[in-house]
Amino acid sequence: MIKRTLTLLALSMALAIAAHAAPAKPNILFIITDDQGYGDWSTNGHPLLKTPHADKLAAESVRLENFYVSASCSPTRAALLTGMHEFRSGVTHTQHPRVSLPHDTTTLPELLLTAGYRTGFVGKWHLGQPPSGHGFEWCSSNMGGPFEHFDPTMVRNGEKTKETGYREDIYFNDAMNFISETKDKPWFMYLSTYSPHDPLKAPEEFVAPFRGKVTEEQAQYLGMVANLDYNIGRIMAFLKKKKLDENTIVILMSDNGQTWGLDVYNANMRGCKATAWEGGTRVFSFWRWAGHWPPHQVENLTAHLDVLPTLCELSGAKIPEKLQGKLEGYSLLPLLQSKKPIAWHEDRLLFQHVARWPSGLAAEHKYAMAGVRQGHYLLVRSHPCDSPKCSNENYGFQCSTLRSVNAGGKEATYTAANAAFHWGVSEPGRWSLFHLKKDPAAAAFYYKPDGGALVAGTLLKNPALADVLRQIASKGAS
């Protein structure tokens, strides 16, 4: 009798301890699309797309409306996985040798491993050494990358399998399989699509609604986005069915600004991928944690640099002391938790550079296609370099495009007739200031430097930005 009583007492104490134990760590589903513009969901005003699943996700999320990434793919991915500006890791292009993340770089999945997470990767990597060398335990992608839309050969943890179907459908299937397999640990799934990056091709059922309304190229692009919406709906329904919905953080964003949908809709913004303008780096960013974060919009200046510190705080992953001083992002948790607007790193400066110079010509491009952001302000210089060595022959496409615009060209990458607007060239030797909340199209100077003056109005109250401007001026630029 005494033995039975002691057993019941021990069981009661164990249950009491379990009841007061720390809550389970959240699972993390991070979805990043490729080359998709901010406006390419119907919730963001697109006139043709109908995207009910992404719209529902947005309505249930914290929407970071002033969120920025880098001007192209690999630099964005390097920054969000390291918490540091891509210049720190040397990932300044999408072509070798400047596309590879150094093998000794500390990454987000490596940190999550220390917090007890199982880490999975599906889709596009584009950072050199395979993701398995940077903290991902379970990996899946396809042999043909962006060129293999249908019936791809998948490579899962080194094993090749020929599959039937559309690439993105298979990606989402693999993500759901990884989640189903993970029984006894919290998980981090990094789901990186190739859609809607070119080459452009989607299942006919998703393309057909757009035919006759736009060009065939644009119809394929929009079909790829519509397919993404379909798959977002599938994976959200899957989480709910598995009863994982309330303990899974879902994040949806893109890796750079608008591309092949530029002439259809760009949410009134100027610029596209690989430009220094607003439309090149502002992307949608939805953060959902049902029952924890009230759906609301955030206007504070946020960026891909904030992903690592935020997810480390949420997961309990400790950032090594030697890394803490190098991080250039901040935890978004205060913004995610507060439904009301709050002050949060109001003096933040976000430095951006298109960076796609030909190898060996970095110095000549120091101030070509670059910008500094603070709040809703953009200080920008969009001008080609002066080097005769920079040309299409050595992949100096950005400067060649700007020279073409300067000469009166109307056509450029992603646009048939609006090159002067989206690839706009600023005055030589000058930086121009815009207030993008008031003027998202950057159609009128907020302040035009003149007579040696640096900047006007409220920006003078920011000593850090004033110092940046003085440094720019000291280098010989107005």
State the catalytic residues: 73, 126
Neighbouring C-beta atoms of residue 426, cutoff 10 Å: 18
What the block records as the tokens of 137 is 């335990």
What the block records as the tokens of 324 is 């803490």
Q: How many CA atoms lie within 13 A of 366 on its CB side?
A: 8
Place of tokens 């993970």: 182
What is the DSSP secondary-structure string of 376-418? TEEEEE------TT-SGGGT-HHHHHHHHHHTT---BTTBSS-
Q: What SS3 state is found at 444?
A: coil
CB 88 within 8 A of CB 370: no
CB 89 within 8 A of CB 105: yes
Return the closest-CA partner of residue 41 out of 197, 222, 194.
Answer: 222
Distance CA 126, CA 171 (A): 16
Distance CA 113, CA 132 (A): 12
The 3-class SS string of 28-55 reads: EEEEEECCCCCCCCHHHCCCCCCCHHHH
Neighbouring C-beta atoms of residue 361, cutoff 10 Å: 16
* 187: enclosing H helix or E strand: strand 187-192
